[in-house]
């Protein structure tokens, strides 16, 4: 089956990102395909490229990137939710006249339409919220 | 007013949070508007604290936070006219149909499952 | 005297019970943000034991269009009154 | 058949009532994260109407040291079982 | 066991969230440890879901999340030995004193206000 | 009186930052002094320097900076909470071998000890949580 995940919780504050990553590896191990993870609400903070968790904690940012590298899962971030929360990629930073950026590939800022698309495209969409 | 439940629809958005206290309500409404703009048939269900999204007389917050009342007014423009509200939550807040800013069909708890079964996809906010 | 501040509504959160359990007999309780839903006539029964020491923040009621439905037993204060309440208390405790 | 997923404990959050109100007669309910507190023998009464369609995620019970206190009426599943539940359902709905 | 309530202390940290589901518990314990390291006399009160911080047998999460049990074990090293637990919350989860990983004095609801009045500062988590 | 605020909520997701800013202006208007705002838990995201909210919404980041500029209020961010969530200043980014940064003055990353200090130093510490 084709799966999509919707992640709404900030990393470490709630268990949402942990649960989503855990569920992702389990569904992949069962032979399903994970098309895309969409980040909304405080979930957009998962895309913060500078995350530096303690060595003895799971590195959630790296785990998302590994999901993309190994399985081609798209990591899409709601652009409206991200901009207000300061999660800008290089293009948006430029557009807003700011130097530096917080979000970079494999995470991409996209419209909410991609979440609606995802819901139509996949067999199962599972939400992990704070 | 309790009306028959529609049995079909692409997307059901369930709104359970009140205005101003968090961004859940606005983000749920935004998802509904985008889905409608993409041509999906969208139904809204206001339940629990979410029924307060329908309260009349909402205003901007003290810092100028605009809240969600203006977005509610845009629903019709996007052809989102299938609005339901949980009767038990209305009663819990002492609200009646005439207190609502938009017409929404009252739904008894037993009908919610039917509404959910009739939609291909459900998002909760 | 402690000022307790609650921002969750009793309609969906039981955190108000923690605040009530912790309140001394002269402590005050201020409802803010979504907590003001508890000040409505339809909800205020949850705070009966607080008596006349129950307050709600006016601008949070007004933004939600609920100022007309606030129960008469609740003392509605503006943000200046919120500051005054903190001045009059020895310390504040937030419940969320 | 819908799989409902709940991550809030009934001890402090009333969101479980929203999930229960929305459940059809063949729908299933899976407790995850802090939601697994509802699977304890001391708490499971809140989910009585769900009967044998109540599930809880094993690893969330185990991490909290609560697997021994999970009620016998609850079907405990590992994360593989979580995936299976989503396979068997037409769609999933998360309550938080 | 219900013991007399201490009437003095610099900081009371109230822990109301269970392990693993959020970072509140860990962040509250961290604040307590830092205050103790700064020489303050620190009291902990576990109430509501926070009493589960005291449950025996906690383990790492499936991704290796370490939880808070190891931090609980460090409290004594920081001379944080004034631990209280709300009796009603223990009862709600069917827990007894012998189920706890650390000794904590059971507190009836009426004594909580007294504990709070006795501390110069209170932080809730 | 001397006040301190503890902010635990991410900007825009909850009303915590709005309430704290509103309370701050009210206490200053009454002639009190606001020594410091300490950001903990998801409150650390208030320090995201790239925040670009819609024009018709309050600009919370700018409002915090104005508080510092006009009233000398310190804006201190718990460093442990910030690092794991990707909110690094230039020094921490450098220390972790990452280019770019998310946090800059007037916000400063500091230890949790500053929160404890604040509690001792001020007459009233008020918490705004999500």
Average pLDDT estimate for C65-86: 98
**Residue F130 Cα, gap to closest chain B Cα (Å):** 8
**Residue C80 Cα, gap to closest chain D Cα (Å):** 32
Extract the residue ranges of chain F whose pLDDT is less than 70: none
- DSSP-derived secondary structure for chain F: -EEEEEE-S-TTTBSHHHHHHHHHHHHHHTT-EEEEEEE-GGGGGGG-TT----TTS--HHHHHHHHHHHH--EEEEEHHHHHHTT--BHHHHHHTT-SS-SB-TTEEEE-THHHHHHHHHSSEEEEE--
- Confidence (pLDDT) at E4: 60
Instruction: Inform me whether the pLDDT recorded for E2 exceeds 60.
Output: no
Average pLDDT estimate for C17-42: 98
Going by beta carbons, is chain C in contact with chain A, meaning 3 or more pairs sit under 8 Å apart?
no
**Residue D65 Cα, gap to closest chain E Cα (Å):** 4
Contact partners, residue C26, CB within 8 Å, separation at least 6 = C1, C53
Q: Which residues of A are catalytic?
A: 78
- What is the band of E3 on the pLDDT scale with cuts at 50, 70, 90? low
Q: Do C22 and E86 touch (CB under 8 A)?
A: no
With contact defined as beta carbons under 8 Å apart, do B122 and D24 qualify? no
- Confidence (pLDDT) at E6: 60
Average pLDDT estimate for D11-39: 98
With contact defined as beta carbons under 8 Å apart, do F14 and F43 qualify? no
Q: What's chain B look like in SS3?
A: CECCCCCCEEEEEEECCCCCCECHHHHHHHHHHHHHHCCCCEEEEECHHHHHHHECCCCCCCCCCCCCHHHHHHCHHHCCCEEEEEHHHHHHCCCCHHHECCCCEEECHHHHHHHHHCEEEEEEC
Q: Check CB contact of B20 with chain F, cutoff 8 Å.
A: yes
Q: Which residues of E touch D (CB under 8 A)?
A: 16, 18-22, 48-49, 52, 55-62, 65, 67, 69, 89, 92-94
Q: CA C4, CA C20: separation in Å to the nearest integer?
A: 9
DSSP A73: -
Closest-CA residue to A57 (of E19, E18, F78, E64): E64
Q: Could you identify the residue written with the tokens 């100022």? A: C67
Going by beta carbons, is chain A in contact with chain F, meaning 3 or more pairs sit under 8 Å apart?
yes
Instruction: Inform me whether the pLDDT recorded for E102 exceeds 80.
Output: yes
Q: CA E17, CA E46: separation in Å to the nearest integer?
A: 9
Query: In which region does residue F54 sit, left (phi positive, over 0), alpha (psi from -120 to 50) or beta (all else)?
Result: beta
- Quote the percentage of chain B above a pLDDT of 90: 92
- Quote the percentage of chain A above a pLDDT of 70: 100
Q: Mean of the per-residue pLDDT values for chain B? A: 94
- Quote the percentage of chain A above a pLDDT of 90: 100
Q: Do B63 and F22 touch (CB under 8 A)?
A: yes
Among E residues 23-62, those touching chain F with beta carbons less than 8 Å apart: 23-24, 27, 30-31, 34-35, 37-38, 40
- What is the band of B8 on the pLDDT scale with cuts at 50, 70, 90? confident
Residue tagged active-site, from F6, F78, F79, F102: F78
Told to judge if F65 belongs to the known catalytic residues of this protein, a careful annotator would answer no
Q: Which residues of D touch E (CB under 8 A)?
A: 7, 9, 11-12, 33-34, 37, 40-43, 59-60, 62-66, 68-69, 79
Q: How many helices (H) and strands (E) does chain A have?
A: 5, 5
In DSSP terms, which residues pair with B13 in a beta bridge? B44, B123
User: Tens digits of per-residue pLDDT, E8-54?
Assistant: 899 999 999 999 999 999 999 999 999 999 999 999 999 999 999 99
Helix (H, G, I), strand (E, B), or coil: what is residue E63?
coil
Closest-CA residue to E50 (of E75, E81, E27): E27
């Amino acid at each position: 089956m084709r799966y999509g995940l919707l992640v709404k919780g900030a990393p470490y504050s709630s268990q949402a990102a942990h649960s989503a990553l855990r569920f992702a590896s389990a569904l992949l191990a069962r032979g399903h395909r994970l098309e895309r993870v969409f980040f909304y609400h405080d979930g957009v903070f998962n895309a913060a490229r500078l995350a530096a968790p303690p060595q003895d904690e799971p590195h959630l940012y790296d785990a998302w990137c590994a999901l993309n590298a190994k399985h081609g899962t798209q990591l899409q971030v709601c652009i409206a939710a991200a901009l207000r929360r300061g999660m800008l990629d290089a293009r948006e930073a430029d557009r807003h006249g700011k130097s530096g950026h917080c979000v970079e590939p494999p995470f991409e800022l996209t419209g909410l339409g991609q979440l609606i698309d995802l819901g139509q495209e996949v067999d199962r969409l599972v939400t992990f919220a704070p | 007013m309790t009306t028959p439940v529609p049995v079909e629809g692409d997307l059901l958005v369930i709104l359970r949070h009140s205005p101003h206290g968090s961004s859940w309500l606005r983000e749920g409404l935004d998802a509904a508007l985008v889905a409608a703009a993409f041509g999906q048939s969208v139904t809204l269900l206001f339940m629990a604290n979410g029924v307060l999204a329908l309260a009349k007389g909402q205003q901007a917050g003290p810092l100028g936070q605009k809240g969600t009342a203006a977005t509610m007014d845009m629903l019709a423009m996007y052809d989102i006219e299938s609005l339901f509200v949980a009767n038990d939550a209305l009663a819990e807040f002492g609200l009646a149909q005439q207190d609502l800013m938009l017409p929404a069909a009252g739904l008894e708890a037993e009908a919610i499952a039917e509404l959910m079964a009739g939609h291909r996809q459900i998002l909760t906010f | 005297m402690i000022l307790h501040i609650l921002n969750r509504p009793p309609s969906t959160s039981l955190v108000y019970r923690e605040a009530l359990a912790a309140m001394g007999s002269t402590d005050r309780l201020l409802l803010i943000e979504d907590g003001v839903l508890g000040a409505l006539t339809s909800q205020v029964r949850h705070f009966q034991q607080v008596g006349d020491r129950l307050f709600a923040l006016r601008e949070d009621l007004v933004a939600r269009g609920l100022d007309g439905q606030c129960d008469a037993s609740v003392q509605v204060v503006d943000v200046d009154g919120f500051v005054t309440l903190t001045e009059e208390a020895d310390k504040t405790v937030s419940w969320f």
